[in-house]
Amino acid sequence: MNHTRLWTLGLTLVLLASLSLPACTSKPENPALILATTTSTQDSGLLDVLIPAFEAETGYTVQVVAVGTGEALKMGEEGNADVLLVHAPSSEITFMEGGFGSDRRLVMHNDFVIVGPATDPAGIRGLDPVEALAEIAESGASFVSRGDNSGTHKKELSLWNNAEIEPTGQAWYIETGQGMGATLKIASETEAYTLTDRATYLANRDNLSLEILVEGDASLLNVYHVIVVNPDPWPDVNNAGAIAFADFITSAEGQEIIGTFGTEEFGQPLFTPDADKTDAELGLP
């Protein structure tokens, strides 16, 4: 075999090999993407894993704005975010009915828990959530609320409502107006109770003097959806990027990241992936 044939054969093998390689993802025309989400997804550390994987897969660069769900939805209403990752289903439905979102998909869930000092001055350990809040109010033990219109705050208020108690203005009721991580820290420092999502509590547990005292009730389910902001009233939003993000976190790859996050450090996943389920299966309207 002459050198020309050897060279041609070699080139052919290289070309054939290249056909079996995955194509490189081209950079999107508009790579900047604004994600408005809850402080719990950030404080738990989930976004530190999920966002880099999405960026590497797609070429988008994500700017994360971590606020309460109420503020995140407001950003979507005003066209100041491209995509939302939030956890207040009733408010999300109102958002969609108002025409502010073009697509809403189930992503994952974890649960809320009530934490407090090990001494448990109100004696709530093992009670259901409504009974626990009634005991806290009766005892006058301190309770720290986020007070920020977040998904966690909305859940807390619904539990107080079920207990037929108005905590606002009570001496024992403290509103921080801050995110979950900061609120947990304040509750720990003041030996108070608070409602938190389990993931953020576990991620910060080593720095807190708080224990899980109430858990496991069906009313404490904490469900997250991804919402693509409607581009019709806001043509400048990055609709393609928002759809790409929604596709990624509901894909097999994204769901695997969610379903395994926390297992190595905490011995349990901090979130349960739900993209293959329906809201009805989780007991949501």
Grouped pLDDT means (10 residues each) for the chain, 285 residues: 35 36 65 95 93 98 95 97 96 97 98 98 98 98 96 96 97 96 97 96 95 96 97 97 98 98 92 96 91
Q: Say how far apart CA 55 and CA 42 lie, in whole Å.
A: 16
pLDDT tens per residue, range 88-140: 999 999 999 999 999 999 999 999 999 999 999 999 999 999 999 999 999 99
Domain segments of the chain: what residues?
A: 32-109+222-282, 111-220
Enter the pTM of the model.
0.85
CATH topology of domain 111-220: D-Maltodextrin-Binding Protein; domain 2 (3.40.190)
For 157, the token pair is 């208020």
Q: Say how far apart CA 260 and CA 273 lie, in whole Å.
A: 9
Q: How far is CA 65 from the centre of its chain?
A: 12
Q: Kindly state the greatest CA–CA separation across the chain.
A: 95
CA atoms within 13 A on the CB side of 182: 13
pLDDT tens per residue, range 170-198: 999 999 999 999 999 999 999 999 999 99
Q: Nearest 5°: phi and psi at 84?
A: -120, 145
The confidence score (pLDDT) of residue 273 equals 98
Domain 32-109+222-282 in this protein, CATH class: alpha beta
